[in-house]
Structure 1
Amino acid sequence: MKKHILASAIIMALTACSPAEEQKKPQATAEAQVSEAAPKDSQAEQDLNQQFSRFSEDLIEKLWELNPGYAVYVGYYKYDDKMSVPSEDILKSEIAVAKEKLAQLLAMDVNQLSDSNASDYYILKNHLESQIFTFEELKSYQWDPSNYNVAGVFGVILNTDYKPMDERLRTIYRRMQNVPAFYQAAKDNLTDPTITHTELAIQQNQGAAALFNNSILQAVSDSGLSELEKADFNTRLAESTAAINGYIDFLSNKLEEMKTSGNARDFRIGEDLYEKKFKFDIYSGLTAKQLYQKALSEKERVHGEVIKLTEELWPKYFAEQAMPEDKLLAVKQLIDHLSVKHVKRDDFVDAIKAQIPELEQFVMEKGLIEMDADKPLVVRETPAYMRGFAGASISAPGPYDSGANTYYNVTPLDNFNDEQAESYLREYNHWILQILNIHEAVPGHYTQLVHSNKSKSLVKSIFGNGAMVEGWAVYTERMMLEEGYGDFEPELWLMYYKWNLRVIMNSIIDYSIQVKGIGEEEALDLMINQAFQQEAEARGKWRRATLSQVQLTSYFTGYSEIYDLREELKQKMGDDFNLTEFHNKFLSYGSSPVPIIRKMMLAD
């Protein structure tokens, strides 16, 4: 509960901005006029705020120096040709730096910081403590082979037009020098891998090998590099590919040993580690157990809503058939009946592309959120090295290169047989595909991350909170329907609640699997019979729950906290509440944890 206490008590100083910050606001506003009459901060407070700003800048620069790949993801390319090697000695030295920075941070009096700096203080504190916990207690570097995959950063450099292609290829050439050492460190670190993470690592590193052998190799062939440069490049490319394939072979042998011996590490992390990871990753006002109990309660409420809609729609679709006494069975029958309306298998990616402009038009016509037409969204097939975890995702640029493309990754159904593909398409049927696109694109992840990059605080943009990011995307699904998207069609609302039950069930099954130890069949029963998921989707979620811990709870946690905040502000402000202003203000705080945003918005 320590984090809960910190998050819910982000200092009384949040009730007013410092004069230095207030001077940045328009002078004509009533808020500015009131603030100008307030006493100025003491010199000591001003000095401390300046010290904190320097500390933040130094910490972020040190982070990029130690993690140049992470820097590339956020669009900071100063160290783009550097590649860190995750040996245990280097990891220990990074944790020593984290402890040093944490001690420096804790030496500052948070009560003397401005509201913006105080919230940054808690975000940085959480980040540093999380780093230390991950290395010293969770120790996933010892048991999760999927942590080790070089493809992501190479893919960003190859596909992001931040400098001419030939220069990017030379950057890739220099980075490749450490690929063999990277994978050797991975082999040295992995003392007791799990079966599920080993299988994922093999799949994704096969995609990494394809990136080097296909995309990068072709780019070199088509480039303006000299013949000597190409020859040197191809030599290093062969060395890198050999290192990746060597890692795959290493993991394949490990996998065979584990399956033969039956002596593999359990993928479950247990209650103690789960609660701690939840505290750092989610940053909620609740414990993991409390969130689990809240999800159980919300499941019952939503069951009531879907039963009402089923009773309304049943005569329309089953005029000659009596509704079953088992109400949830009736809901499932109606959903199954409706779910046959879906796009064709080969049209899945194209259908998503076609729908994005429709969502953008609705948001702009309603004026729901400020949109930025200059920040492109590109729908693409998920790169091979990213597949195997989620069917749809967003890859967004960071605050340093905010003008770069945001990619909506959609995995085609190439690897599914006909039965699996049909099950998947029924899950993402005519109605739910629209909700998926709201979530991933407009006004969900894509829109939120564009706003996040505009935050005046780099801390709030860089150290994004997963529960806020996922929670916003889930919140927009309900908000769009409330505002009239789909013309209040009951079928769309029924499918929305089905989708929302999946969000709720994510929290229930993640806790149940990782803490309570339930098995696959029990988890599938919960997802299929109580959240009305198709079998293919449910089996995919089981796999995902064996590969991640806590992350599946981020959707429901963030969503419920954002929705509760909105309703609280509506009650406090009455007729003065404006939905558009709420959205733009909420998004102006970057990707901060919702408890921090809540404190700052209530203060305003």
Structure 2
Amino acid sequence: LRSEWALMLRHTITPFRPPSAQYPRATRLYRALNEDNKRAVSYFWNRLRRDISYHSDQRVIPERMRYERTGFDKILFYDQYIDLNLQEVGQIAAAQVSYFRQRLNQVARQIDPKRPWQQIYEEEITHKAKPVASYKALHEAHMAAFKHVEAFVQQKGLFSETLPPGKYIYSTRDTRHFEFGERLNPGMMGNAHVLYLNRNTPADDYAEERMAQHVIQQLYPGTVFMRRQQDRLKQKIAPTLQGALKHINKPFWLTQQGWNTYVLELMEEQGYFDHDPIEHLSVLRQLYRNALLATAVKHYMNHEHPLNHVKAYISNSLYIDKANIGTTLDKIMRKPELYLFRVLGREMIYALREKVRQKEGDAFSLRSFHDRFIEGGALPIP
């Protein structure tokens, strides 16, 4: 036993080093430089960031300049949210749950007054989902959808220009994303190599990132660089809200997840999905699911309900059968903060929008707000 303990502890014990030897000479020099001459160092640092940059699909503007150009302040964005606790995020989510439940019932009545929305969803979407035949077909479908999105956005005056699709849109090289019981047979949903579009979005919970992709991908301002940073952060974040809140000064997830939810909600409010009630139902169900899973996470993490009650709550509300609920629950337990970030990030963007609207009065427009939000490095991260 003693030798086992010695083996376990061997990695944790580090030899003593005098303080001067802890940092190599270059670092100490840099620190001195940094303290003496902050302005020069920040100039070189910004140049370095401009020259060695991963940003493939967006120009890089040094940070300070970026925020000056947006006209709204990071502080404006973050001040009231740093101290939000689990209870308050839960209240926001619960309010959204009841709102989207009403909307789902409204849209379901348009489709068929005799069936509840869960039944329509299962019969019209779950059982009719078809995979896209090939990458070529997928690309063509995306381009066609992109034209619709672009025309709609221009007509409503929401964004001045939509970004072209990024480099890694159609598949992800990150196989870790499909690790936990999500890898199915090739060509089946859940596998990285086959994606679905619009009406053909599969209805199960493998599809959470892919709902209305043609909307999110065309309007999502993230870059390859941001996604890499996010992957780096994934490894650091602890799987609890408290652990995640330690990193709230750099929450790539917070604003990315919030932005996706915000864009879907915006397009839904503006009536983009009205032409097709079935697709409208699927998008509303996605927004409902985001809020519902956030409340479930809050119930579980506050120890208000045991896991089997949470399981029953999710499966009854989302109409998920016993076979699929395990996967959903597994995802929630592994990354609970993700679901809270969806609700919280969207709330933050709305709050910022209202503050800017108050500040600017008649000069405010959605188009100018969104353009500045995207230009401020896509996501206002301090």
**Which of the five TM-score ranges fits, normalised by the shorter chain?**
0.5 to 0.7
Tell me which of 131, 146, 155 is aligned to 1:360: 146
- Paired with 2:226 and 2:160, the residues of 1 have a C-alpha distance of 13
Q: 1:478 to 1:352 in 2, by over 3 A?
A: farther
Shift of 1:532: 4.0
Alignment-derived partner of residue 41 in structure 2: 54
Shift of 1:543: 0.9
Alignment-derived partner of residue 162 in structure 2: 371
Residues 1:528 and 2:315 aligned together: yes
**Corresponding residue SS for 2:272:** coil
Q: 1:119 to 1:538 in 2, by over 3 A?
A: farther
Q: 1:527 to 1:374 in 2, by over 3 A?
A: closer
Shift of 1:499: 0.6
2:166 and 2:223 in contact (8 A); partners too: no
Alignment-derived partner of residue 85 in structure 2: 287
Q: 1:532 to 1:355 in 2, by over 3 A?
A: farther
Alignment-derived partner of residue 512 in structure 1: 299
1:255-297 deviation per Cα after TM superposition (whole angstroms, max 9, x unaligned): xxxxxxxxxxxxxxxxxxxxxxxx9xx9646222210122112
Q: 1:342 to 1:572 in 2, by over 3 A?
A: farther
Letter in 2 for 1:379: Y
- Paired with 1:115 and 1:382, the residues of 2 have a C-alpha distance of 33
Residues 1:565 and 2:352 aligned together: yes
1:426 and 1:534 in contact (8 A); partners too: no
1:520 and 1:542 in contact (8 A); partners too: no
Q: Percent identity?
A: 14
**How many aligned positions are there?**
298
Letter in 2 for 1:442: Q
Write out aligned runs for 1:294-305 (5 A): 294-305=92-103
Shift of 1:377: 4.3
Letter in 1 for 2:123: H
Shift of 1:508: 1.4
**Corresponding residue SS for 1:344:** coil
TM-score, normalized by length of structure 2?
0.60
TM-score, normalized by length of structure 1?
0.40
Alignment-derived partner of residue 387 in structure 1: 178
Tell me which of 429, 435, 440 is aligned to 2:212: 435
Write out aligned runs for 1:546-565 (5 A): 546-565=333-352
- Paired with 1:585 and 1:352, the residues of 2 have a C-alpha distance of 31
- Paired with 1:427 and 1:348, the residues of 2 have a C-alpha distance of 21
- Paired with 1:432 and 1:115, the residues of 2 have a C-alpha distance of 29
Write out aligned runs for 1:148-297 (5 A): 284=82, 286-297=84-95
Q: 1:592 to 1:385 in 2, by over 3 A?
A: closer
Letter in 2 for 1:298: Q
1:452 and 1:590 in contact (8 A); partners too: no
Unaligned runs of 5+ in 2: 1-33, 56-65, 184-188, 194-200, 228-248
Q: 1:388 to 1:491 in 2, by over 3 A?
A: same
Structure number having the greater helix percentage:
1
Alignment-derived partner of residue 278 in structure 2: 491
**Corresponding residue SS for 1:540:** helix
- Paired with 2:35 and 2:102, the residues of 1 have a C-alpha distance of 53
Tell me which of 333, 341, 345 is aligned to 2:119: 333
Alignment-derived partner of residue 230 in structure 1: none
**Corresponding residue SS for 2:171:** strand
Select the structure of larger CA radius of gyration: 1
1:427-452 deviation per Cα after TM superposition (whole angstroms, max 9, x unaligned): 3799995524433x2213xx333797
Shift of 1:483: 3.7
Alignment-derived partner of residue 104 in structure 2: 306
1:509-558 deviation per Cα after TM superposition (whole angstroms, max 9, x unaligned): 22223332745432332223223456565432311222224222111111
- Paired with 2:125 and 2:332, the residues of 1 have a C-alpha distance of 25
More contact order relative to length (CA 8 Å, sep ≥ 6)? 2
1:339 and 1:426 in contact (8 A); partners too: yes
Residues 1:412 and 2:191 aligned together: yes
Alignment-derived partner of residue 471 in structure 1: 258
Alignment-derived partner of residue 417 in structure 1: none
Letter in 1 for 2:102: G
